[in-house]
Chains A and B, each alone.
Chain A
């Protein structure tokens, strides 16, 4: 039976089907029955939707929609890779909806974020406090009536911030015991706070004490704050504080034009920025309903996989270093260096690439790229082999990572884990296989998965994924449809990084002389190269330079795309598109109002779900294991805090 029929049969009028122009499956549910519907979807529906992929909200104020808010649930079914979006409208005067935390533990942080950003309250939420913004923040920034330019500098009073955290923690601990009390005296030191905690809470034994790890701590890369309750060396409880790197990505995305969002996506997961570029571009293209050229798809696959390798290399290297294996770190970083040189050659930048465009990519691959890429992959394999020798067969390392940071299948699903962390528990879910995008269905690769869900399995998964990504790139290099090479103004073959370098060193005279033939350059693309990497679609793609300068149609087209109030204008609609980021499912939920800028861009960062379940992994482990677990999770603060 279709999902639609099942829902209508079960709930009747409370559920309505919403038509989606791009083919998403959307149901509008009465907010009073949201928990029932969710429970039905999770347990009884056929197929059942075991993962809450994302939970967010949209403020429809500017669309004059009543009720004003909608809370959006993205559910995913593992059994047949189906995605369903559930919408529940929430009115402005009574912004409250039932919490689904008891169904999916991962909803906890999502709901906190919605409360933080939209001011929608969740009834039955165990711990509804701000998550990305600081406690003193007034208002809810993603509401449409919160002005974009409004600033609220964080002014601290004389009370040390850290003590406040402890206060809050103690408050929660004592609150959960039913003894609601206010703490008048600010604790002077950690020890005193600890003693207070000991006497206040019956759940704590004589020996436990509180310790802060982060936000300034060598292993808490990115910025994150763990408030640990320790019993000697053992972790009893953890409270995770995030938001130190919040940059209002989603708010800023609503201000610039559709294509202006790319530079921001670079800074989400800054270790593999190209994957973020691709994910966002795919979402907008789906709204527009355009299909990109075959060569551009292959280029996107190659660049995504290079990014994935870089990400995994960085993750394994960093976790090795944090466990004291400095040499492994430098070996793997050396391999990453080779790959980053490739990235620089193609995109002109190493980190903030902004390479993908709506409708294609910025520029074509350079001459001889395939050979250099194969050489870099060879180097990568060599260094990964070194890593296997130094770590995988090292008794100390294996003992340290086996059986630590364990997460069970049930917990992983409940928290909405994806990526290597989910796969390490034995659930073989990879977006590239589940919902193949670009050309992944034409390439032969395996998805490694573990069985114990511990740090060692995650480590092995990542190393094996590097190998699989190498395979993908090699196949893609074989299969990629031929296109023109890039030439400089004299017709000489020029590599991208040479240009970038001569630009950097101020030798731009020759670059300026080049007459719109050089690719990729800041001057734009020439017509013969464009055919390979851009679809022939005037709504999204800037015309070739010779057309812009040579024909009235070209100028008009250029003008229409560049001018304010015109530009790329996807038809009104909403869609959720995801791809496989290095750490899991990277989803973009975009809402278009038909204007030249996004109405709402929601990013579903894989780390967010991972971090919301991180305390589960730490429970019962030792202090030293926090480092190992944190390393293999590979949290990237850029996408976590956005």
Chain B
């Protein structure tokens, strides 16, 4: 029973920490996006929200936006299917949050001699779990679109479902290469396997072993988040999007899902291709420099510092990927629906199949 309680406390604390982190980061990301686009477009960007004269570069806009969304009227259009209309944004956000459960944030932390995995749940099918969750994400969009009783929303929903299914195929097949190289579907194992060095200087990261898969995964990943250039389901100037009838927090939840998915795809990119929490070159140095003496009563000093550094490395890499995704977003125009389909089925899919074949041959001969 004691084990059960310890385990429950462990999971619960990880879960709460993670939920708070994600729900704080997402609104902040709206601010980041606004500021970054402003820098790219030669303007000032959000800077008006202030609390007691404090403006913090417009950081309070995130807060103001959330407050606004919460206090706005949640309007249900005439002829809408009320139950599904209310349910759809929840489904959407639920699966986006679920995706984070298997992301490893750092190596094992030792507390009072007990190893604690820096991952909410350690599933040995982590990668497949992620696919399953990704596959569910489309329901929030499609059901919301259908329940709105609006032709624009319906078009958006149709586009979204076709697009997401198409690109899941590419995502899945591009990651088969990763499975072949690292011989595991457990995200923790995959990350650990990226800790070695290639030829003594190059980290054995996915981007170096599977460069083609990296590009396919990034492209398909952005398509999954339905952001520019793949934002045909929203297409704000054409069909306004599957959430056209949503107001207030209903819209807010779709909006949040958008950013959550961005973070999720960035996390996965980092985990599969950029060495996850690995901090190459300095991890060995940290282990050597600091002793394994007890710290704060329950931690080991070197293990503790290493975990912090790894966590920071992970966050840094994720930020980098998000920055890249946003740069893409503010540079490219939108694809048309048939171009998206062509790219997915005629470019990315054959390329990822080709990648598997090549990888399999190399892995077979090298071992």
Contacts and interface: CB of A to CB of B under 8 A. Distances in A.
B228 interface: yes
Contacts of A394: 332-333
B240 interface: yes
A624 B330 contact: no
Interface in A388-414: 390-391, 394, 396-397, 399-400
Interface in A216-231: 217-219
Contact of A211 (B40, B151, B338, B339): B151
Interface string A322-366: 111111101100100000000000000000000000000000000
5 contacts: A219-B238, A321-B237, A324-B231, A331-B41, A394-B332
A189 B150 CA distance: 10
A324 B41 contact: no
Interface string B321-351: 0000000001111111111000000000000
A324 B337 CA distance: 13
Interface in B283-338: 330-338
- Cβ-closest 9 pairs across A and B: A324-B334, A325-B333, A322-B237, A330-B41, A323-B333, A219-B237, A324-B333, A624-B336, A211-B151
B238 A396 contact: no
B330 A327 contact: yes
Given A391-B333, A396-B333, A397-B333, A326 B338 contact: no
A390 B337 CA distance: 21
A624 B333 contact: no
Contacts of B331: 327, 390
B60 to A, nearest CB: 24
A397 B336 CA distance: 9
A397 B339 CA distance: 11
Contacts of B3: none
Interface in A189-243: 189-190, 209, 211, 217-219, 233
B330 A326 contact: yes
A515 B40 CA distance: 48
B236 interface: yes
A624 B231 contact: no
Interface string B227-255: 01101100111111000000000000000
A622 interface: yes
A377 interface: no
A555 interface: no
Contacts of A233: 155, 337-338
Interface in A163-196: 189-190
Nearest to B342: A399
A400 B333 contact: yes
B333 to A, nearest CB: 4
Contacts of A330: 41-43
A218 B333 CA distance: 17
A625 interface: yes
Contacts of A400: 333-336, 339
Contacts of B37: 326-327
A623 interface: yes
Given A391-B333, A623-B155, A327 B237 contact: no
Interface string B160-184: 0000000000000000000000000
Nearest to A210: B151
At the interface, is chain B mostly helix, strand, loop or mixed?
A: loop
Contacts of B367: none
Contacts of B332: 324-325, 394, 396
Given A219-B238, A623-B239, A626-B238, A324 B229 contact: yes
Contacts of B155: 211, 233, 623
Interface string B37-76: 1001111000000000000000000000000000000000
A627 interface: yes
A624 B238 contact: yes
Interface string A442-486: 000000000000000000000000000000000000000000000
Interface in B5-44: 37, 40-43
Contacts of B40: 327
Contacts of B338: 233, 622
A320 interface: yes
A245 to B, nearest CB: 20
Interface of A: 189-190, 209, 211, 217-219, 233, 320-328, 330-331, 334, 390-391, 394, 396-397, 399-400, 622-627
B113 interface: no
Contacts of A211: 151-152, 155
Contact of B151 (A190, A219, A320, A322): A190
B79 interface: yes
Given A218-B240, A623-B239, A323 B151 contact: no
Contacts of B79: 189
A237 to B, nearest CB: 16
A324 B228 CA distance: 7
Given A233-B337, A324-B231, A325-B333, 17 more contacts: A211-B152, A218-B240, A321-B237, A322-B237, A322-B238, A324-B228, A324-B229, A324-B332, A326-B330, A391-B333, A396-B332, A399-B336, A400-B333, A623-B155, A623-B239, A624-B334, A626-B238
Nearest to B150: A190
Interface in B82-104: none
A327 B328 CA distance: 11
Contacts of B151: 190, 209, 211
Contacts of B336: 399-400, 622, 624-625
A63 to B, nearest CB: 49
A6 to B, nearest CB: 50
Contacts of A397: 333
A331 B42 contact: yes
Contacts of B228: 324
A327 B43 CA distance: 11
A331 B41 CA distance: 7
B360 to A, nearest CB: 31
A624 B42 contact: no
A347 B345 CA distance: 56
Contact of A624 (B41, B43, B229, B232): B232
A627 B149 CA distance: 23
Contacts of B333: 320, 323-325, 328, 391, 394, 396-397, 400
A358 B122 CA distance: 82
Nearest to A211: B151
Contacts of A391: 333
Contacts of A396: 229, 332-335, 339
Nearest to B229: A396
Nearest to B240: A218
A390 B338 CA distance: 22
A189 B151 CA distance: 10
B92 to A, nearest CB: 22
Nearest to B152: A211
A144 to B, nearest CB: 44
A503 to B, nearest CB: 28
Nearest to B332: A396
B240 A624 contact: no
A409 B237 CA distance: 29
Contacts of B236: 218
Contacts of B330: 326-327
A397 B41 CA distance: 19
Nearest to A398: B333
B248 to A, nearest CB: 20
* From B151, B229, B232, B235, residue with most partner A Cβ within 10 Å: B151
A611 B238 CA distance: 18
Contacts of A219: 237-238
A326 B329 CA distance: 9
B41 A327 contact: yes
* From B152, B231, B232, B235, residue with most partner A Cβ within 10 Å: B235
Contacts of B240: 217-218
A626 B41 CA distance: 26
B85 to A, nearest CB: 16
Nearest to A209: B151
B144 to A, nearest CB: 18
